[in-house]
Structures are given as structure tokens and as C-alpha cells.
Amino acid sequence: MPSKEAYITGVGQSEVGVRLPRHPLLLTVDAVREALDDAGLTLDQIDGVFTYPGKMAGYTAFSPIASEDLIEVLGIKSKWHMGAMEQPAQLSAIGVAAMAVKQGLCRHVICFRTVYEAGGMADPAQYMAGAKQDTVSGSSQWTSPFWATSAACWTAQYAARHMHRYGLTREQLGQIAINGSRNAMANPRARAITKEELTLEKYMAARMVTTPLCLYDCDRFSDASTVVIVSAEDALDEVSAKPIRIAAMSGSVDRYSWDQVEEFAAYETGADLWKRTDYTTADVDTVQFYDGFAFLPITWLEGLGFCEKGEGGRFIEGGTRIARDGELPLNTFGGQLGAGRLHGFGFAHEAVTQLRGKGGERQIAGDPKVAVATSGGGPMAAALLLTRD
């Protein structure tokens, strides 16, 4: 039977580290076990597996585990599964899972994102065999020949333009990483990534990667697995945890080419999210915004309408507004800058954690009920509106 709503009923995460000796399949199973315990479910109740971007042959550091690996090793009798990169950014895997349970295909499904980029870089023969190629093709042929090798180079140009057009300053931009480090210090799972709080002085003195992005504006390779369990409304009586409703979701891609878009997809995806709900920005208690690069949360603040276009820098000025005790707490677990490159799923994990009041030392006050989690940057993006009803 189709289900009216989809809920997140469990979240889990493995140890997060840099060059973890534990195999990425085992990290994934660690995260699954924690999520199942969290939800009060057992493996025999799981009937679907969804992931982003699916196992990447030749570059398994980026994505080492297939949905089918989990089905196989966990003995899941799956009714639907998917692992694909051709979707609007990382959290779209949770979006497709929500569609599957709403359609009645599945009752409880595992959504996961496993990264092994730090460990994989240290073992290229096993995890990066396909990375070295004689020629470039596809979309990278339009950037790599000019040594615009990394997404940092592509994002930097839009950040620089924002500075030029609207007056964003490095002091303002630095608040994203500073806020992330401060929150990461209160997150036990971020211990291997952030060892001390970042100061503005240290930020301003950091070496440039590609202007205006410095070292602290770019997330760093990590090893971890993050799991979110999505359940159908009519299966909630099997769950012991407080369910969090996926109240709305949105995603968009206009041009796939990074250098042909006038604006990043956060603007369109952000506007679309509010067309699918009666909630507004005024109802939101916390935001968890993709920050693979520090400029991206600024596009989300503007795109979702928390401030006017061009005002993102002034909105985060001084950092008080986005702090854990501010009016719009941002990336309360540290974000990817502070808590590691979990690649999108960390934002959903933290939104659920905060809405349930399970944040421990980093828990925000005021009984939060509404959160936004986003993923992506550049030409593709996805957003989730999560609520505790």
C-alpha cells in the first residue's frame, strides 16, 4: 500500500578518521548497526538499500561500497535498491528512498554514504587504479586541460565573483570554518578531524589553495560511513525511536557544466523546497548546509531565502547568528570542514540528531522541531526539510 509520508527513523555513523585501518565495508556495517539500534529495527525488517553514488570502479576511494555489497553481506531481502551518481547531489539517494517507501515498494530502507578517500589515497593500487588516465573526456575535458583540476578551482571563481559583486569579505567567509571547528570540538566523532578551535587570525594567515579559498575553506579527505534509515508511515509502529518526517524535498540541475551556469543550483533548489510545504524560513530551528567548500553555505542561505541574494556574507558576519546559541545554528556537528568529508549524509544525520534532542554537548536549546539539510554545490543540489511533528 502506498504510504502518505516518509520518515527518517534511525541514523548511524562509523568512526570518522583519516587513514582508518578498518575496511570500508566494515565501517559501513558499523554505521548500519548503529542506525538499526537507533531505530529499534533488526536486519530482517530492512527491505531496500539506497546509496550515492554507487561503487565507483577504478576509484573506490571515493565510493568503495555498492548497495549490492550490503544486500549480499547483510542478507537483506531487498525489494528495491539503487546506487547512482546521476541524481541531483548526495542527499537525492534519501529522496529516492522516500519515494520508494511512499510508493509502497519498501517499508524500511537503509540509505548510506561511505567514503574512504584518506585511506584510499594511501593505497592507490587498491582504491585508485583508474585515476591515472592518458586523456580526459566528458565534463572534465573543459577544465582539467587548464589545470582547473579540482572543484575548489571551479567554486573559487563563483566565490570571487560574489566578493566582487556583493562585497563578501574573507573575514565573513572565515566564519563558516570557524563555526565548523567550534562545533566539531563538541562532537566526539570529529576528534580525528578537528583538534583545536580555529581563530580568525589563523584563518587569515592560512595558505591559499585557489583565491579566495584558503586551506580551511576546503574539506579534507576522510574515512567514514553514514547511514540513514527511511521508513514508511504505516510501518512506524515497528520503530522505537522518535520518527522525523521528510516534510519536503527538492533537487535541481540546470546545466551539468560547472562553468556554464550563471548561479549555483542552491538558488533554484532552495526556492523549490518552500513550494512543497507550508513551513517557511521563520519556522526553521537549525540548518545543516553542505560545506565541502566554505562558500557553499552562503549560496544555501541566500538560495533558501534566509537572507537576500548577495547578503550571505553580512548574514554570517562575526559568526554569532550561526553559532549553536544563535538565531540560526549552522552545521552544529562541525560540517564537513570541521567533522570530515562525509559527503552529504552528515547533514541529514545531524539534522535528525538535533531534532531528537540527542546532540549531547552540541545540542541546541529550544526544543527544535524543524531543520533543513542540504547537499551539493555547483550545478547540482538537493535539499530536505525535516520535521518532528
Partner 1 sequence: MNLPRPRPRLDQENTAFWTGGGEGRLNIVHCGDCGEFTHPPRLLCRHCQSENVAPQAVLGTGTIDSFTINHQPWAKGLEVPYVIARVKLDGAPGVYLTTNIVGCPVEAVDFEDRVRVVFEEQDGVFYPLFEKAD
What gap in Å lies between CA 291 and CA 17, rounded to an integer? Answer: 18
For the bound state, the minimum distance from the C-beta of residue 156 to partner 1, rounded and expressed in Å, comes to: 4
161-200: contacts with partner 1 (CB under 8 A):
161, 164
Q: Which residues in 361-380 contact partner 1 (CB under 8 A)?
A: none
Q: 89 vs 85, 141, 253, 363, 383, CA distance in Å?
A: 8, 21, 9, 27, 9
Question: From the CB of 293, what's the least distance to partner 1, in Å?
Answer: 12
Does 207 contact partner 1 by CB under 8 A?
yes
The smaller minimum CB distance to partner 1, of residues 4 and 135, is found at 135
The values of phi and psi at residue 91, to 5°, are -70, -10
Residues of this chain, 37-66, that bind partner 1 according to CB under 8 A: none
389 closest CA partner among 282, 233, 230 = 233
Number of residues that bind partner 1 (CB under 8 A): 35
Contacts of 161 (CB under 8 A, 6+ apart): none
Do the Cβ atoms of 247 and 387 come closer than 8 Å? yes
Compare residues 43 and 208 and give the one whose CB is closer to partner 1: 208
Only segment of 86-94, 160-168, 276-284, 351-359 that touches partner 1 (CB under 8 A): 160-168
Among 151, 200, 209, 236, binds partner 1 (CB under 8 A): 209
CA angle 373, 374, 377 (to 5 degrees): 165
Query: Residue 233 or 259: which CB sits closer to partner 1?
Result: 259
| 124 preceded by a cis bond (ω within 30 of 0) | no
Least gap, CB of 124 to partner 1 (angstroms): 14
The CB-of-195 to partner 1 minimum distance in angstroms stands at: 23
Residue from 260, 280, 318, 361 in contact with partner 1 (CB under 8 A) = 260
CA–CA distance, 374 with 330 (Å, rounded to integer): 11
Angle between helices 67-74 and 24-39 (to 10 degrees): 70
The C-alpha cell that represents 19 in the structure block: 587513514
Smallest distance from partner 1 to CB 298, Å: 15
Q: Is 247 helix (H, G, I), strand (E, B) or coil?
A: strand
Cβ contact 17:192 at 8 Å = yes
CB of 212 to partner 1, least distance (A): 8
State in angstroms the smallest separation of the CB of 265 from partner 1. 16
Torsion angle of the four alpha carbons 143, 147, 151, 153, in this order, in degrees rounded to the nearest 10: -110
Residue choice 90, 92, 210, 354 for contact with partner 1 (CB under 8 A): 210
Of the ranges 69-77, 96-104, 172-180, 258-266, which one interacts with partner 1 (CB under 8 A)? 258-266
- Find the shortest distance in angstroms from Cβ 239 to partner 1: 46
According to CB under 8 A, which residues from 129 to 158 bind partner 1?
134-137, 139, 141-150, 152-154, 156-158
| Binders in 87-116 for partner 1, by CB under 8 A | none
- Minimum Å distance from CB 256 to partner 1? 9
Handedness of CA 139, 296, 100, 346 (dihedral sign): positive
Q: Between 309 and 369, whose beta carbon lies closer to partner 1?
A: 309
Burial class (CB in 10 A: 0-12, 13-18, 19+), 161: exposed
- Residue number with CB closer to partner 1 (138 or 366): 138
- Residues 65/24, Cβ–Cβ less than 8 Å: yes
* Rounded Cα–Cα distance for residues 33 and 15 (Å): 12
Residues that bind partner 1 (CB under 8 A): 134-137, 139, 141-150, 152-154, 156-158, 160-161, 164, 207-213, 257-260
